[in-house]
Structure 1
Amino acid sequence: MTLTQHAAPPEPPAVAAESVPGPARRRPPRRGPGLLLRPVFLGVVALVMLVPLYVLVVNAFKSQQEILTDPFGLPDGGPTFQYLDRVFHNAQFDIMRGYAVTILFVVCVNVLSVVLAGPAAYVIARSTRRRYRALMVFFLAGTFIPSQVLVIPVVYVLKVLGLMGTVRGFVLFETVLTLPFSIFLYAGYIATIPRELDQAAAVDGAGRVRTFWQIVFPLMRPVVATMVILNTFSVWNDFVNPQIILGPGSGLYTVTTGVYAAVSQFSTDYTVVFPTLLLAIAPLLVFFVFMQRHIISGLTAGSTRG
């Protein structure tokens, strides 16, 4: 008997491994010269900023001889707090009173700045008329005028109004300095808030004032926090304006003018200079550490809201 042999089916052609589709391979990003130089640049900038702060902190706990011989070294035998304690009993400047006066100015300026700049920015941002846009340009131009240029004209105005050398005159002047940038920042943020909220409030019978304070203003918390931080820095660090407007005759010293009064007679006694400067900036440094995240979030919130 003859066995019939069946031919085996032909094998499918081999498929090259390269032709099999698969997930695309991601090429590692190229590290250009910019990415390599960025850490170096940031390190140099950080070093330039931190070295003076390091010198200030370290020398506040050292004796005069140690400061003169080794200003960058750590205190021998550990830090001593006797020089910081001496600052609290300085006859030329009561630092606790300086804190109280400066905090009073900071609170007053921030409250007045929000009360005045908020509604003004709301009107500018919600209006489509050209005159309001021109007003916005007018306020924006005010951000480019140095405050030192305005001191002399302001002195004459305050003298006429009887506010020279008074707390009210100084607070009003500092508040006016904060308005241009505050209005500019507030208006940019309010423009990102939907107008439908205003229309819904109007349907419910709310006027424009009530709509702003109860509907729009609570949504402005990030940008308001940013301006409060920036205004606090400005008022706390200001030296020229309180020195001229308040003057020695008022008996009021802010932290900066008080430090000048305390160390001007002892400019070569570094055991007075460094501890006084450290206590003057310490509250501001603590405030900045806890509030720094609000600065970036407030400045960028207006560009990310839908």
Structure 2
Amino acid sequence: MTPNPRAGARRPSPVRVALLTLLFAVMTVPVYLLLVNSFKSQQDIQNSPFSLPFGRISLDYLAAAVQSPQYNVLKSYGFTLVLVVAVDLLCILFAGPAAYVIARSLKRRTQFLLLFFLAGTFIPASALIVPLIYVLRAIGLDNTVAGLILHDVAMTLPVSIFLFVGFIRTVPRDIDHAAAIDGAGRLRTYWQVIFPLTRPAVITVLILNSIGIWNDFISPQILLSPGSGTYTVTTAIYAGISQYSTDMTKVFPNLLLAVAPVIIFFVYMQRHIISGLTVGALKG
């Protein structure tokens, strides 16, 4: 029997296995701690955070976290969802047409514009907070939900435009020419012809932006003062933690309530992310 020369090549190297195992542990251990400690007492959490005492597990801690006015994460679900939807819609509204112009233009200044947008991805968000506060204060939008929405839209535009440009460049220009022959202008061509074809890119942008906005803590914490009474999911948890003592039986259940929707959303939509990020390379 002739040995298969590809058999040895298919075996993963020990280094790869070790790195994947380490990465798996780094990603799953925090999730495990969050899950098991959401149903345990304060004493069990402090004495044995990794254990799973089946006889003392209770849903009362999760119910108390839901009903607690101090740690009311469920109440902040609505505001965070509205914030995510508003930012996603505005981002698609601005990023799509801008990317279409950049992708279809061969002018040097247009390509420079793409580099200008990409430069925004290299600036740390924390470095922009202080000047952003002054800008929002100058235009009268400091400590307002509108100011937070405009900030999130500006922060999500660079990556969104980059993804749209990469995908639109794979769409044949003949489609634009056919639409122009039918009398369609540039704007109508994009929204009625090109935009429906960019569905994988749209889904990828929506997923990435939604997860980022849902998990964002620094921006809403600074741009919306605690006195406003408006909290996102992340800032609601922070506002409920006492300055001098921490009740772990409330912190862990609320953290679970905060991250569970985004984890479920990501697991369900991950195949769309992969297809949206690779479709340009496959078509190219």
Quote the Cα distance in structure 2 between the aligned partners of 1:216 and 1:285: 31
Given the two structures, how large is their TM-score scaled by the length of structure 1?
0.88
Quote the Cα distance in structure 2 between the aligned partners of 1:246 and 1:123: 35
Q: Which of 19, 22, 25 is the aligned partner of 1:41?
A: 19
| Residue of structure 1 in register with 2:156 after alignment | 178
| Residue of structure 1 in register with 2:29 after alignment | 51
- Answer yes or no: is 1:139 the counterpart of 2:132: no
| Residue of structure 1 in register with 2:60 after alignment | 82
Quote the Cα distance in structure 2 between the aligned partners of 1:272 and 1:25: 60
Shift of 1:267: 4.6
Shift of 1:28: 3.5
Shift of 1:76: 3.5
Contact 1:246 1:252 in 2 (8 A): yes
Secondary structure class of the residue paired with 2:55: coil
Shift of 1:79: 2.6
- Answer yes or no: is 1:247 the counterpart of 2:245: no
CA root-mean-square deviation? 1.7
| Residue of structure 2 in register with 1:121 after alignment | 99
| Residue of structure 1 in register with 2:248 after alignment | 270
Secondary structure class of the residue paired with 2:122: coil
Query: Aligned ranges for residues 1-306 of structure 1 at < 5 Å?
Result: 26-31=4-9, 35-77=13-55, 79-265=57-243, 267-306=245-284
Shift of 1:37: 2.7
Relative distance call for 1:266 and 1:91 in structure 2 (3 A) is: farther
Quote the Cα distance in structure 1 between the aligned partners of 2:85 and 2:247: 34
Cα deviation digits, residues 187-228 of structure 1 (max 9, x gap): 111011000000000111111111101111111111111111
Contact 1:93 1:262 in 2 (8 A): yes
Shift of 1:166: 1.0
Secondary structure class of the residue paired with 2:74: helix
State the AA in 2 paired with 1:261: A
Given the two structures, how large is their TM-score scaled by the length of structure 2?
0.95
Secondary structure class of the residue paired with 1:88: helix
Shift of 1:34: 5.8
State the AA in 1 paired with 2:270: Q
Runs of 4+ that moved beyond 4 A: 31-34
Higher relative contact order (CA 8 A, sep 6+): 2
Contact 2:61 2:253 in 1 (8 A): yes
Query: More helix by proportion, 1 or 2?
Result: 2
| Residue of structure 2 in register with 1:17 after alignment | none
Structure 1 alignment gaps of length 5 or more: 1-23
Shift of 1:109: 0.5
Relative distance call for 1:126 and 1:28 in structure 2 (3 A) is: closer
State the AA in 2 paired with 1:45: L
Quote the Cα distance in structure 2 between the aligned partners of 1:123 and 1:36: 48
Shift of 1:175: 0.3
Higher Cα Rg, which structure = 1
Contact 2:71 2:250 in 1 (8 A): no
Q: How many residues are aligned here?
A: 283
Shift of 1:147: 1.0
Quote the Cα distance in structure 2 between the aligned partners of 1:266 and 1:197: 64
Relative distance call for 1:97 and 1:26 in structure 2 (3 A) is: same
Quote the Cα distance in structure 1 between the aligned partners of 2:143 and 2:91: 21
